[in-house]
Amino acid sequence: MSTRVWLLRHAESEIPNIFHGAESDVGLSERGARQVQAAATILASYGANAVVSSGLRRALLTAEPIAAACGLPLRIEPELHERRVGILQGMPTRPPHPLWVETTQRWQNGETAYATQGAESFDDIRERIVPVWRRLTVESAEQSIIIVAHGVVIHVLLLSILSGYSPADWQRIGSTRNLGITELVFEADWRVIRRNEVPPQVAEIA
């Protein structure tokens, strides 16, 4: 058997059009809560052996119904929290904020230690999440796990664990949608089976 992970971003958060970093422990929007109920039924059919979540409210409110539908206890990993965004907290996400554009461009250019005031760099995020990933996947070798985390965390993780990828591939990896499922299997290396797929039953919820 292979080790399999379904990695997904939490459902739509309250006030979804602003930056919510680790500094903001918001819940889910009404739409997000409806999305979770549909997603939980689908994810329960996958036969996971464990459900793991970040400790932030928006992730917990996503993961708790999934764990219940799977008949599994929920395991909380606090270090999977969203990026600390510092001075971007509460700023609009659209159009893309110039400080965030500059940050990702500098990361792509190899300046992975760069961060704006009060924020975490690519290196900061990688140093706290990769050890958690390694521990979880070793503990669950030849089993399957559902992990609920956050957009930037998932982005950094994929660029850190996938063979042939680096921070230079920030744009190549693409953004992560709410409840977008990325399925990974470990054979000789981690391999992506599907990336950022929102089940139709979830995507159609208004």
pLDDT digits (tens, 9 = 90+) for 125-143: 999 999 999 999 999 999 9
Residue 204 CB contacts under 8 Å (≥ 6 apart), including other chains: none
Note the pLDDT tens digit of each residue in 69-82: 999 999 999 999 99
What per-residue confidence (pLDDT) applies to 206?
A: 83
Please give the pLDDT value at position 33: 97
3-state DSSP assignment of residue 35: helix
> Residue 104 forms beta bridges with which residues?
none
Q: What is the pTM of this model?
A: 0.97
The whole-angstrom separation of Cα 200 and Cα 196 is 12
Query: What is the rounded distance in angstroms from the CA atom of residue 23 to the CA atom of residue 4?
Result: 31
Is residue 27 helix, strand or coil? coil
List of domains in the chain: 3-203 (3.40.50.1240)
Give the per-residue pLDDT at 1: 78
Question: Are 108 and 167 spatial neighbours (Cβ–Cβ below 8 Å)?
Answer: yes
What phi, psi does 38 have (nearest 5°)? -70, -40
pLDDT reported for residue 90: 96
Counting as low any pLDDT under 70, the low residues of the chain are none
Structure tokens at 163: 């063979």
pLDDT (0 to 100) of residue 201 = 93
